[in-house]
Amino acid sequence: MKEIAKYITPESFYKRRREFVKLGAGTLLSLSLIQSKLMALDFKNDENLDKLKISDEKLATSYVNFYEFSTDKRKAVEYAQKFNTQGWKVELSGEIEKPLILSMEDLLSFPLEERIYRLRCVEAWSMVVPWIGFELRHLIEKARPTNEAKFIKFTTLFDKTQFNDQNSFFPTLDYPYVESLRMDEALHPLTLMAVGMYKKPLLGQNGAPIRLVVPWKYGFKSIKSLVKIEFVKERPKTTWELYAPHEYGFYANVNPEVSHPRWSQAHERILGSFSTQKTLLFNGYEKEVASLYAGMDLKKNF
Ligand SMILES: Nc1nc2c(c(=O)[nH]1)N[C@H]1C(S)=C(S)[C@@H](COP(=O)(O)O)O[C@H]1N2
Ligand SMILES: [Mo]
């Protein structure tokens, strides 16, 4: 049986499946669903018109921030290896016509695209990641928000049996991790729901099986392993804003002129190289997104 599988599946797929088997049965199921979409190259490639230099895949999957596992980047990767995403569901509720519960299969019916984006962490490092996902606006259209919906609130899984830091006596953050976007930011075509990167399904440490990616904002807005999307009237309090409001604002737009109280944001370390570069307003996406903030004081609304 295994011998036959070797002949009827492309070799790379076969090898990759074997790697997934090592991750355990739970991960395998949802991975293979996404995997088969991606292996069929059922997504539109990014032509990389800006000629961004893509970061090493090894780096992007090992230098991670995922506090639910651990604040230690190495340990987060280690603990994420047995992350179980079997039967994953995303719940949509709030100011929409009727609540929806979507499986990964439902979510994968949106048109998938590769998007090569800069990622700028508030810790002053950056990389370039080739994500695979769909525009969040497609999901919003499906949810049919009412006129009352002004913000979207996103929530990460809360599961003490899976996340070491959630289970600790003194958790680092007030979990579950919550993030939010204004409706017009959420509807912007750059705003992505990612299910993969480097032409493969997301790994646990990068927010499997589905996460947000907002390229013009600091990385912490790009919330991982989503289970809930709520359409709300009022601006929600977000995890980092609650933790330190003078350090992490709601908007978190990348801005070289607004320093973090403890360090400058004017430059960034390019991960995987010895160089630094100037940080760009809106992380280089000014042309696309500046109009969202016309007339707003970006220093006050940081
Ligand atoms: N749920 C959750 N989402 C999260 C984080 C986290 O700790 N928990 N870290 C954020 C931060 S600070 C960054 S920089 C990005 C990092 O994404 P990456 O590790 O895939 O590069 O994820 C963001 N999303
Ligand atoms: Mo970050």
Residues 106-152 have pLDDT tens digits of: 999 999 999 999 999 999 999 999 999 999 999 999 999 999 999 99
Residue 166 lies in a domain: yes
Higher-pLDDT residue of 5, 222: 222
Residue nearest to atom 10 of ligand 1 (CA): 220
Residue 249 lies in a domain: no
Does residue 69 have its Cβ closer than 6 Å to ligand 1? no
In single-letter form, the type of residue at position 193 comes to M
Residue 266 lies in a domain: no
**pLDDT value of position 18:** 47
Distance between Cα 67 and ligand 1 center (Å)? 8
Query: Residue 165 — left, alpha, or beta (φ > 0 → left; ψ -120 to 50 → alpha)?
Result: alpha
Residue 193: domain span: 2-120+129-244
Residue 252 lies in a domain: no
Mean pLDDT of all residues in 6-26: 46
Q: Does 73 score more than 50 pLDDT?
A: yes
Residue 261 lies in a domain: no
Whole-model pTM above 0.85?
yes
Ligand 1: which atom is nearest the Cα of residue 67?
A: 7
Residue 301 lies in a domain: no
Residue 37 lies in a domain: yes
Does residue 64 have its Cβ closer than 6 Å to ligand 1? yes
Mean pLDDT of all residues in 156-180: 98
Q: Is 270 annotated as a binding residue?
A: no
Question: CATH number for the domain including 75?
Answer: 3.90.420.10
Residue nearest to atom 14 of ligand 1 (CA): 219
Higher-pLDDT residue of 210, 26: 210
Residue 275 lies in a domain: no
Number of domains the chain is built from:
1
Mean pLDDT of all residues in 229-250: 98
